[in-house]
Amino acid sequence: MISILTRRTISLVVTLLIVSLLIFTVMDLLPGDPAAIMLGTSASPDTLAALQHSLGLDRPLPIRYLAWLAGVAQGDLGQSYTYGVPVAGLIAERLTVTLPLALMAVVLSVAVAVPLGVQAARRHNGPFDAVAGVFSYISIAVPAFWVGLLLIIAFSTMLGWLPAGGFPGWDAGLWQGLKALLLPAIALALPQAGVLTRIARAAVLDVMNEDFVRTARAKGLSEEAAVWRHAVPNALIPVVTMLGLQFTFLIAGAVLVENVFNLPGLGRLAFQALSQRDVIVMQDVVLFFSALVIVMNFLVDLAYLAIDPRLRAGAQ
């Protein structure tokens, strides 16, 4: 077990390093000199050269990559060209929007998908199962950002219950913050809920025919109790796995939904950095998101190893 863990960890670190090198190289190939952008067109060549030197832009690529990497390892992600503040602080600040948004979306999608999937499996091939099937087909097909627009039309423009966008900040109070994130979280959760409903249904169907569930029923446990005490916990494993694997799509959805609702999150930061040519911010945000995905997949892998002894044997 320890040796698999070491191997997986080494492979995690190597993957992270290669991704960081790729992102750095691609961003470095960008046309346009950050120093020239910061100073504007009227700067003298001397000032430009001085700024390039102080930003370290005149050093060769490998040196700059290593310097950047050493900084990242120490939590120093560099300075934003447009905001003039450390990128680490910028990311931390924007995370206070994106993280609660993603969490709310995950909680919402699980809260809808698990009961729906379990009931669909219990009434296998009945009308409820059909309705759940239609729900998951449709919710997988609708773009999250469109759902966002529809929610704005319904709950902001027509009913006026919730804000159409923007974020007041957590200083305005917990309720105000949650209210601003509710519609975006629903939009983000819907496609996830469709995928998870399918997985939960299939998993419960699988488990319900297992011996231990039959034994539980034979012991005199009611159908209800047998399902929730024995079938559902086992069926949750694939659901959690899927959540990990869907993480990339959650991030992609967040980038779009944040732009629909004008939320000052990480996705919006990346998009703004693109239009302002703030290379270092883009680089760091993309690296941050990619690292999250890689670590998430790593955790899913580990969870598998912990759950399934056969995989541990196979990996030896």
Residues that bind other proteins (CB under 8 A): 11, 14-15, 18-19, 22-23, 26-27, 29-31, 137-138, 140-143, 145-146, 149-150, 152-153, 157, 164, 248-249, 251-252, 255-256, 259-260, 270-271, 274, 277, 279, 282, 285-286, 289-291, 293-294, 297
Give phi and psi for 75, each to the nearest 5.
Answer: 80, 10
In the complex, least distance from residue 272 CB atom to other proteins, rounded to whole angstroms? 11
Beta bridge partners of 79: 86
In the complex, least distance from residue 294 CB atom to other proteins, rounded to whole angstroms? 5
Instruction: Specify the residue, 216 or 284, whose C-beta has the smaller distance to other proteins.
Output: 284
In the complex, least distance from residue 130 CB atom to other proteins, rounded to whole angstroms? 11
Instruction: Specify the residue, 26 or 92, whose C-beta has the smaller distance to other proteins.
Output: 26
Instruction: Specify the residue, 216 or 290, whose C-beta has the smaller distance to other proteins.
Output: 290
Instruction: Spell out the long-range contacts of 302-305 with Cβ–Cβ below 8 A and sequence spacing 24 or more.
Output: 302/5, 302/8, 303/237, 303/240, 303/241, 303/244, 304/241, 305/1, 305/4
Give me 30's structure tokens.
């960008």
In the complex, least distance from residue 220 CB atom to other proteins, rounded to whole angstroms? 30
Chain-centre distance for alpha carbon 238: 18
DSSP string of 239-285?
Answer: HHHHHHHTHHHHHHHHHHHHHHTT--SHHHHHHHHHHTT-HHHHHHH
Instruction: Specify the residue, 113 or 296, whose C-beta has the smaller distance to other proteins.
Output: 296
Give phi and psi for 263, each to the nearest 5.
Answer: -90, 135
In the complex, least distance from residue 46 CB atom to other proteins, rounded to whole angstroms? 28
In the complex, least distance from residue 172 CB atom to other proteins, rounded to whole angstroms? 24
Give me 93's structure tokens.
């600040």
Residue written as token pair 């939590």: 75
In the complex, least distance from residue 160 CB atom to other proteins, rounded to whole angstroms? 11
3-state SS, residue 114: helix
In the complex, least distance from residue 302 CB atom to other proteins, rounded to whole angstroms? 15
CA angle 256, 257, 261 (to 5 degrees): 120
Instruction: Specify the residue, 122 or 216, whose C-beta has the smaller distance to other proteins.
Output: 122
Q: What is the DSSP letter of 163?
A: -
3-state SS, residue 56: coil
Instruction: Specify the residue, 42 or 157, whose C-beta has the smaller distance to other proteins.
Output: 157
Instruction: Specify the residue, 293 or 315, whose C-beta has the smaller distance to other proteins.
Output: 293
Q: Measure the CA–CA gap between 67 and 50, rounded to whole angstroms.
A: 19
Q: What angle, rounded to 10 degrees, do the helices at 247-260 and 232-245 form?
A: 60
Instruction: Specify the residue, 44 or 209, whose C-beta has the smaller distance to other proteins.
Output: 209
Nearest to 9 by CA among 305, 245, 251: 305
Give me 148's structure tokens.
């966002």
Q: Measure the CA–CA gap between 309 and 177, rounded to whole angstroms.
A: 44
